[in-house]
Amino acid sequence: MRILVTGLGGFIGSSLGPALAARGHEVRREGMEGCDALVHLANIAHARAERETLWKVNVEGTAALAEAAAKAGVRRFLYMSSAKAAAPDDDYGRAKLAAEQAISKHGAVILRPPLVYGPRVKANFLALMHAISRGWPLPLASIENQRSLVFVGNLCDAIIACLESPAAAGRTFGVTDGAPVSTPALCRAIGTALGRSTRLFPFPPALLPSERLTGSLVVDDAELRALGWRPPFSMEEGLKRTAAWYLNR
């Protein structure tokens, strides 16, 4: 297939491009004429962005792109949404859900990943790796939560499965590495991948400022697995590859 990918130079796109090429697909960065599919990754990912900006880019921009793709004869439009669209509690999640609704008439495939990690990861996950790598004590031992994660290599494989499967058209899928993990378990797994000891101490979770560290977010990927998809990488392998990138930056 000829596949146009927006955001090809970003965190997910930089892994998706080579993965698509390895499957024999032709990857394009611009120009949708003659394309069989379009993967839309280029959205504002920062939850603290202003509502007006989120709506202009993530909702109106996505709707306009889907409309243009339909007029150009692009048969498969895949939108990278977010697990936060399932039960929005902020403007970012609400914008993602609104974008999904705006493109539903085009039979788009929608993926709702939780936190994505892997080589070139940024933001909170990278900060957590910094802290664990440097041996900083972290007040996370008392947290009892469950959070789904997805390695970027697994996410790219799921994207390809949804592009190639006729049964994926017009459907919304969660995508994960598998079973969710607690924040303390994730920290220990990151420490193991980095070859560092993880120093956690108890502290009242209610006094910690970040809901992303203390709260739960479990994603159901049963419908995607019903298509026959299975994540090619375990979380352990995903963290190992992420750690290798981190240590060799």
What does the pLDDT look like over 37-52, one tens digit per residue?
999 999 988 767 788 9
pLDDT of residue 61: 97
Encode pLDDT of 1-33 as tens digits.
Answer: 999 999 999 999 999 999 999 999 999 998 999
Catalytic residue among 79, 92, 117, 246: 92
| Bridge partner list, 80 | 111
Strands 115-117 and 2-6 turn out to be unpaired
The domain 1-112 belongs to what CATH superfamily? NAD(P)-binding Rossmann-like Domain (3.40.50.720)
Contact of 60 with 101, CB cutoff 8 Å: no
Q: Are 16 and 39 in contact (CB under 8 A)?
A: yes
Among candidate residues 49, 124, 53, 45, the one with its CA nearest the CA of residue 82: 45
| Tokens standing for residue 223 | 């419908």
**Model pLDDT, residue 47:** 66
Low-confidence ranges of the chain (pLDDT < 70): 47
d(CA 36, CA 206): 49
DSSP state, 227?
T
For residue 75, the tally of other CB atoms under 10 A from its CB is 14
Within 13 Å and on the Cβ side, how many CA atoms surround 96? Answer: 29
List the domain boundaries for the chain: 1-112
**CA–CA separation, 190 vs 13, rounded Å?**
23
Q: What is the pLDDT of residue 213?
A: 75
Asked about 92 being catalytic, the answer comes back as yes
d(CA 78, CA 111): 8
Please give the backbone phi and psi of residue 166, each rounded to the nearest 5 degrees, phi first: -60, -30
Sheet holding 26-28: strands in order across?
26-28, 2-6, 37-40, 76-80, 109-112, 172-174
What is the C-alpha R_g of the chain? 18
User: How far is 60 from 215, CA to CA, in rounded Å?
Assistant: 30
